């Protein structure tokens, strides 16, 4: 008796399955028709500016890799104060570490405090318009809002202290800064550029070297 009841239920289950399949197909067809009939809300553009704007929007919205990508070769933003490296390095004989004094002990090379600059410029070139800007920041107890030039993605670690203490000269990555009236990005700072340097110098270049 039990066996007969089980077999009797099979046709009913088959009917239910067929009905569910047909309903799903009908719903999908309706959705497709509605999508086809709907007016287009966005048109494709081949304008590089439009494409770039779209890419930037996606990058800002998503948490993935290129949300904070490297800066570009030649990047040279205008600075709030014109700081001529040749005058300070070649003319005054200043070492990079005088201003970037954490480069040997920190991942970030650091920037000089306004007090450090004013240590000289309370006496030197006080009538210069650029120095007067500096003096105003000093008077207002504000740091100079320098615009960053070199940037690697947030998922990449570049510890300056390891490179500087390992004998890598600043110019290896930053170019001849001592000759730049206005600093610009000399190297690509992309992954291939870094890996090539590590290979040539026979140092670690596995993923965990930079991505940790």
pLDDT at position 19: 53
pLDDT at position 85: 97
pLDDT at position 65: 40
pLDDT at position 43: 36
Domain map (residue ranges) of the chain: 50-111+146-209
Per-residue pLDDT in tens (0 to 9) along the chain, 212 residues: 545 554 455 455 555 545 544 554 444 445 444 444 444 333 333 444 433 443 343 333 334 444 456 899 999 999 999 999 999 999 999 999 999 999 999 999 999 999 999 999 999 999 999 999 999 999 999 999 999 999 999 899 999 999 999 999 999 999 999 999 999 999 999 999 999 999 999 999 999 999 99
pLDDT at position 18: 53
| Residue of 182, 204, 194 lying closest to 85 (CA atoms) | 182
pLDDT at position 68: 57
pLDDT at position 70: 80
pTM above 0.85, yes or no: no
DSSP string for the chain: -HHHHHHHHHHHHHHHHHHHHHHHHHHHHHHHHHHHHSPPS------HHHHHHHHHHHHHH--SGGGG-PPPTT-----SS---HHIIIIIT---HHHHSTTTTTSSS-----HHHHHHHHTTTTTTSHHHHHHHHHHHTT----PPP-----TT----HHHHHHTT--HHHHH--GGG-SS----S---HHHHHHHHHHTT---SGGGT--
pLDDT at position 14: 52
pLDDT at position 48: 42
């Amino acid at each position: 008796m039990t066996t007969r009841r089980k077999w009797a239920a099979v046709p009913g289950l088959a009917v239910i399955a067929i009905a569910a399949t047909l309903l799903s197909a009908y719903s999908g067809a309706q959705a497709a028709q509605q999508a086809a009939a709907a007016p287009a809300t966005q048109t494709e553009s081949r304008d590089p500016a439009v494409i770039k704007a779209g890419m930037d929007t996606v990058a800002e919205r998503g948490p993935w890799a290129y949300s904070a990508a490297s800066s570009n070769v030649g990047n040279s933003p205008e600075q709030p104060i014109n700081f001529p490296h040749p005058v300070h390095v070649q003319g005054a004989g200043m070492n990079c570490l005088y201003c970037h004094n954490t480069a040997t002990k920190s991942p970030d090379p650091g920037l000089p405090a306004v007090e450090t600059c004013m240590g000289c410029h309370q006496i030197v070139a006080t009538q210069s318009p650029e120095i007067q800007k500096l003096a105003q920041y000093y008077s207002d107890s504000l740091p100079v809002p320098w615009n960053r030039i070199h940037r690697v993605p947030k998922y990449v670690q570049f510890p300056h202290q390891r490179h500087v203490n390992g004998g890598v000269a600043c110019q290896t990555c930053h170019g001849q800064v001592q000759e730049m009236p206005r600093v610009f990005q000399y190297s690509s700072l992309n992954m291939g550029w870094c890996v090539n340097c590590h290979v040539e110098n026979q140092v670690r270049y596995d993923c965990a070297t930079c991505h940790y």
